[in-house]
A and B are shown apart, each in its own frame.
Chain A
Amino acid sequence: MNFRIYLLFFWAALLFASCQKVYESVPLGQQVTPDLAFDPRDSLGKNAMTYLLTTYQQVLINEHNRINGDYLDAASDDAVSSASGIPSVQAMATGAYTATNTNADDEWSHHYAGIRNATVFINNINVVPMIEKLPNGQPARSAYRSEARFLRAWLYFELLKRYGGVPLLGDSVRQLTDNIQLPRNSFEECVNYIVSECDNIKDSLRTAAMVNGTTYGRITRGAAMALKTEVLLFAASPLYNGGNIDNGNPLTGYASYDVNRWKLAADAAKDLINTGDYSLMPSFGDIFVKQAAPVGPNTETIFWMQVGINNDVEKNNAPVGFTSAGGKGATSPTQELVDAFPTDSGRSITDPASGYDPDHPYDHRDPRMSLTVFYNGSLWLNRAVQIYDGGLDKPGGAVQQTKTGYYMRKFMGPFESVSANPPGYSSMVHDFIYFRYAGVLLAYAEATNEYSGPSADVYNVLYALRQRAGIFPGSDNSYGLKQGMTQEEMRAVIRNERRVELAFETHRYWDLRRWKIAGQQYNTAPLSGMDIQLSSSGQLFYNPISVLKTVFRDPQMYFYPIPYNEVVRDPQMKQNPQW
Chain B
Amino acid sequence: MKKILFLFFLAGVLPALLWAQQGQGRVVTGIVKDANGPLSGATVMEKGRPANTVAADENGKFRIVLHDGTNTLVISYLNYQKQELPIKKNARDVEVVLQQSTAGMDEAIVVGFGKKKRITNTGAVSSINADEIRDIPTSSVQNALTGKMPGFITVQRSGQPGKDASDYFIRGVSSLNPDGNKPLIVVDDIEYTYDQLSQINVNEIESISILKDASTTAIYGIKGANGVLVVTTRRGTAGKPHFNVRGEVGGQAPVRTPQFLDSYHTAVLVNEAYTNDGITPLFSQNDLDLFKSGADPYGHPNVNWYKEIMKPYSLQANANLDISGGSQAVKYFVSGGAFTQNGSIRNFSTNSDGVNSNYFYKRYNVRTNLDVQATKNLSLRLDATARFMDINQPYSVNVIGEIYDFSRIHPYSAPFINPNGSWAYAFDTQSQEPTINSRLATQGYTRNRRTDFNVLMGFTEKLDDITRGLSLIGRVAFASVQQNSLTLFRPVPPSYHFDPKDSTYHLNTGVNGGGYTYNTYRTLGNTDLDNQRTNIQIYLNYERVFNADHHVTGLLLWNQESYRVDMDGAAGVTGAAPSKFRGYSLKAGYDYKQKYLIDFNAAINGSDRFQAKKRNGIFPAIGIGWNLAKERFFAKLIPAANLFKLRGTYGVVGSDVAFGNQYLYNQVYNQGGGYSFGQNQQPVGTIYEGALGNDNVTWEKAKKWDAGLDMNLFGDRISFSGDYFHEYRYDQLVTRQDIPEILGVGLSPGNVGITINRGVEGTITYQDKVGEIRYSAGLVFTYAQNKILYMAEASPRYPWLAVTGHPINQPFGYTWLGFYSPSDVTDTKVAKPVGYTVQAGDLKYKDVNGDGVIDQNDITAIGKPNLPSLTMDMPLKIGYKGLDISVLFQGAFGYSLGLKGNAIEPFQSQFQPIDERRWTPATAASAEFPRLTSNPTTINSPSSYYSNFWLINAHYIRMKTVEISYILPRGWLPLRFNNGRLYCSAYNLLTWSNVSKKYQQDPEVASNTAGDAYLAQRVVTIGLQVGL
Contacts and interface: CB of A to CB of B under 8 A. Distances in A.
B818 interface: no
A85 B937 contact: yes
A167 B511 contact: no
B685 interface: yes
Given A176-B694, A569-B794, A47 B668 contact: no
Given A18-B534, A566-B740, 17 more contacts: A3-B375, A15-B536, A24-B577, A27-B575, A29-B575, A31-B661, A31-B669, A34-B669, A37-B687, A60-B675, A112-B741, A113-B744, A117-B689, A176-B739, A214-B677, A306-B677, A308-B681
B742 A50 contact: no
Contacts of A551: 835
B461 A112 contact: no
A284 B378 CA distance: 92
A336 interface: no
Contacts of A573: 740
Contact of A176 (B536, B560, B747): B747
Interface in B832-849: 833-836
A453 interface: no
Interface string A291-330: 1000110000000001011000000000000011010000
Q: How large is the interface on A (under 10, 10 to 19, 20 to 34, 35 or more residues)?
A: 35 or more
Contacts of B193: none
B574 A98 contact: no
A574 to B, nearest CB: 13
Contacts of B678: 213-217
A384 interface: no
Contact of B679 (A7, A36, A84, A295): A295
7 contacts: A11-B538, A54-B687, A57-B674, A95-B834, A95-B835, A116-B743, A326-B511
Nearest to A323: B510
Nearest to B459: A7
Interface stretch (A245-253, A346-354, A394-402, A434-442): A394-402
A396 B375 CA distance: 88
A111 to B, nearest CB: 9
B773 interface: no
Contacts of A4: 461
B21 interface: no
Nearest to B738: A569
B564 A23 contact: yes
B681 A54 contact: no
Interface string A187-216: 000000000000000000000000001111
Contacts of A120: 689
A306 B675 contact: yes
Given A34-B669, A53-B674, A54-B672, A180 B740 contact: yes
Most A CB within 10 A of own CB, among B534, B676, B745, B835: B835
Contacts of A566: 740-742
Interface string B746-763: 010000000000000000
A388 to B, nearest CB: 16
- Interface residues of B toward A: which range? 35 or more
Contacts of B973: none
Contacts of B536: 14-15, 18
A430 to B, nearest CB: 10
Contact of B794 (A51, A296, A565): A565
A53 B669 contact: no
B415 to A, nearest CB: 19
B743 A180 contact: yes
Interface string B673-693: 111111111001111111010
Interface in A485-541: none
A179 B671 CA distance: 28
A363 interface: no
Contacts of B694: 176
Nearest to B856: A100
B666 interface: yes
Interface in B442-497: 459, 461, 474, 476
A323 B430 CA distance: 11
A466 interface: no
Contacts of A333: none
A419 interface: no
A291 B280 contact: no
A57 B476 CA distance: 49
B857 interface: yes
A112 B689 CA distance: 13
A529 B708 CA distance: 75
Nearest to A159: B742
B662 interface: yes
A15 B461 CA distance: 18
Interface string A71-98: 0000000000000111000010011111
B667 interface: yes
Contacts of A29: 574-576
B509 interface: yes
A96 B689 contact: no
B328 interface: no
Nearest to A87: B937
Interface string A85-127: 1100001001111101100000011001111110010000000
A109 B741 contact: yes
A1 B794 CA distance: 67
A56 B739 CA distance: 25
Contacts of A214: 677-679
A4 B376 CA distance: 12
B796 A568 contact: yes
A216 B679 contact: yes
A569 B672 contact: no
A543 interface: no
Contacts of A216: 677-679
Interface string B596-627: 00000000000000000000000000000000
A33 interface: yes
A118 B681 CA distance: 22
A47 B687 contact: yes
Q: Which 5 A-B pairs have the closest CB atoms?
A: A96-B835, A116-B744, A100-B856, A57-B675, A54-B686
Nearest to A182: B742
A323 B686 contact: no
B813 to A, nearest CB: 13
Interface in A140-193: 167, 169, 174-176, 180-182
B71 interface: no
Contacts of A24: 577
Contacts of A324: 509-510
A303 to B, nearest CB: 14
A398 B430 CA distance: 8
A86 B738 CA distance: 32
Given A98-B856, A213-B679, A569-B740, A37 B684 contact: no
B677 A174 contact: no
B669 A180 contact: no
A420 interface: no
A536 B575 CA distance: 70
B879 interface: no
B135 to A, nearest CB: 42
B295 interface: no
A22 to B, nearest CB: 8
Given A57-B686, A217-B676, A3 B797 contact: no
Interface in B507-544: 509-511, 534, 536, 538
B795 interface: yes
A50 B740 contact: no
Nearest to B476: A14
Contact of A396 (B280, B377, B745): B280
A58 interface: yes
Interface in B355-386: 374-375, 377-378
B578 interface: yes
A181 B736 CA distance: 14
A101 B856 contact: yes
A9 interface: no
A108 B741 contact: yes
Given A33-B668, A86-B836, A181 B689 contact: no
